[in-house]
Amino acid sequence: MRKLKLLCVSVIVLAAMFLMNGLAMAAPTVVVYGTTERVTDMDPANAYDFHTWEIFYNSLYAVDKKVL
């Protein structure tokens, strides 16, 4: 009976730790892109410069692959 109580308490403590850790990691992420060039347009139909496509690739690729 004592082992069962110890096991239950251990499981509850571990579950609480994982839940609190998961809530702390749910903070929004920020994408920082630094350049001296101007981004011309954030519309994919009008964006032909390198830096705009870099932003699209790095943000939309991550969303597509569910990395974020």
Instruction: Spell out the SS3 assignment of the chain.
Output: CHHHHHHHHHHHHHHHHHHHHHHHCCCCCCCCCCCCCCCCCCCCCCCCCHHHHHHHHHHHHHHHCCCC
pLDDT in tens, 8-54: 889 998 888 777 766 555 556 676 666 676 766 777 777 777 777 77
Reply yes or no on whether the pLDDT at 61 is more than 80. Answer: no
What pLDDT is stored for residue 39 in this prediction?
Answer: 66
Q: How confident is the model at residue 58 (pLDDT cuts 50, 70, 90)?
A: confident
Largest CA-CA distance found in the chain, in angstroms, rounded = 70
